[in-house]
Chains A and B, each alone.
Chain A
Amino acid sequence: KAGVTQTPRYLIKTRGQQVTLSCSPISGHRSVSWYQQTPGQGLQFLFEYFSETQRNKGNFPGRFSGRQFSNSRSEMNVSTLELGDSALYLCASSSGTGGGETQYFGPGTRLLVL
C-alpha cells in the first residue's frame, strides 16, 4: 500500500501571503489529522477530519483552516502568514475508529515564511 503523501515537500512564502498544503491518506483511511512541528513548541495538533467533517480542533488561530474531500484527501490553509508559521507540517491518516488506533504520518511539508 502506498503511504501518506504530502505536497509540496518544501515551500517558501512571504509574510501576509496564504498557503495551501495537501495530504493524500493511505487508501481506505477516512481520518486525516494535521500537526505543526517547530523547535520551540514541538509537535502540536491542528485538527482532524473524518468523512469530510472536522472532528477535533487544536488551539490555533482561525488563520489555520482545513477541509477534507470525498476521497479523504485533505488540505490545510494558512492565511496571512506570519514568521512564526515557519514549521514542518505533518499529516497523519488512520481508519478513523479513534481511541488508540495507529496513525501513519507523511513526510511533511516544510514551510519557510520570510
Chain B
Amino acid sequence: GDSVTQMEGPVTLSEEAFLTINCTYTATGYPSLFWYVQYPGEGLQLLLKATKADDKGSNKGFEATYRKETTSFHLEKGSVQVSDSAVYFCALSAFGGATNKLIFGTGTLLAVQP
C-alpha cells in the first residue's frame, strides 16, 4: 500500500542554519504531496503542496520539489528561525478517485536554538 517515510528527529539547528528534512514515498500513480506543520498544542497547518512531478511548492521560505524519479519530496529552508521550531509531517494523497485520505509520515521534530 501507499506509504511515506520521513527522516527521524529530532533535528536541532542553530538560528540561520540550512534545513533539510527528507521525505520519500511509495505510491501508485501520481499522488499529491504535502508538508504540514504542527506547533505545540495545535492542529496541523498546511505548509506547502505539490500535485504533479517537478512541481515546487513554497511558502514562508520553505520549499519542496516533487521528484518522481526518486519518489521524494524533501523539505528545505535556507535560514531557519526559532519560530520554525515545530513538528513537520510529510503526507500524500492517493492518485485518482474522490477520496481525501492523507497518509502521513511519522513526523520530524525541529528545534531551532538562538
Contacts and interface: CB of A to CB of B under 8 A. Distances in A.
Interface of A: 4, 31, 33, 35, 42-45, 48, 50, 55-56, 58, 90, 92, 94, 96-108
Given A42-B104, A43-B104, A98 B43 contact: no
A56 B101 contact: yes
Nearest to A95: B100
B103 interface: yes
Contact of B98 (A55, A92, A102): A55
Interface residues of B, number: 26
Interface stretch (B15-23, B44-52, B77-85): B44-52
B100 A98 contact: yes
B44 A105 contact: yes
Contacts of A48: 99-101
Nearest to A6: B43
A98 B51 contact: no
A45 B3 CA distance: 13
Contact of B96 (A31, A99, A105): A99
